[in-house]
Amino acid sequence: MRHFFGVILGIGLLLAGTAVHDTAQAQDLAKPKGPVLLTVSGAVAKTNRGPSNDFEDGLLNSHGIAFQKAAAFDLAMLEGLGMKKFSLQYPGWPKRYTFEGPLLRDLLAAVGAEKSSVIRFMGLDGYEPEIPVQDARDYDVMLAIKVDGRYLGIGDRGPIWLVYPRDDVPALKNTDDAKWVWAGFHIAVE
């Protein structure tokens, strides 16, 4: 009888350990060490922060953004997703610019949201277009954090500018820049 209870206890501990492990896997993003540049909320499987706070998340709150869990990224974490680079000159720009940053699809994979269908990327001014995740699958859509070798700052279209590789992809040549959110700081995954 003692052996029977030992087996049952062992199975119970194994199952409890599996449940704890699954919870840890669902929340296995490292915590940011520097200032947070981007918060990703909504249908994300991997997070590193808890609920939004009306006071501490003043900017998010002022835009009506609230969540129970999210993924927060500082500069080092964004760079850690892998930096890509491409150059382009949009009609009306004074010159060709070289953009650097992680790809949107890599960010979505990092938060476990690559199978989602839509994101809403919000800029500091509240502009928030709906962006099909299929764009990230089909093209190297970039979360640019640098332009011409310098980091983007507030007032300089930063901290993040979503750009499409229109000069490298003929299918994007005639698209407008309505999805090119600049001064981006929040992504809602749907």
C-beta separation of 122 from 182 below 8 A? no
C-beta separation of 103 from 142 below 8 A? yes
Separation CA 67–CA 69 (nearest Å):
6
Q: Which CATH number fits domain 31-189: 3.40.190.10, 3.90.420.10, 3.40.50.300, 3.40.1710.10?
A: 3.90.420.10
Nearest to 145 by CA among 172, 89, 183: 183
Main-chain dihedrals φ then ψ at residue 21, nearest 5 degrees: -60, -45
Main-chain dihedrals φ then ψ at residue 80, nearest 5 degrees: -65, -15
What is the separation of C-alpha 4 from the centre of its chain, rounded to a whole number of angstroms?
49
**Digits of tens for pLDDT over the chain (190 positions)?**
444 334 333 434 333 443 333 344 445 899 999 999 999 999 999 999 999 999 999 999 999 999 999 999 999 999 999 999 999 998 889 999 999 999 999 999 999 998 999 999 999 999 999 999 999 999 999 999 999 999 999 989 999 999 999 988 888 888 778 999 999 999 999 9
For the chain, the structural domain boundaries read 1-29, 31-189
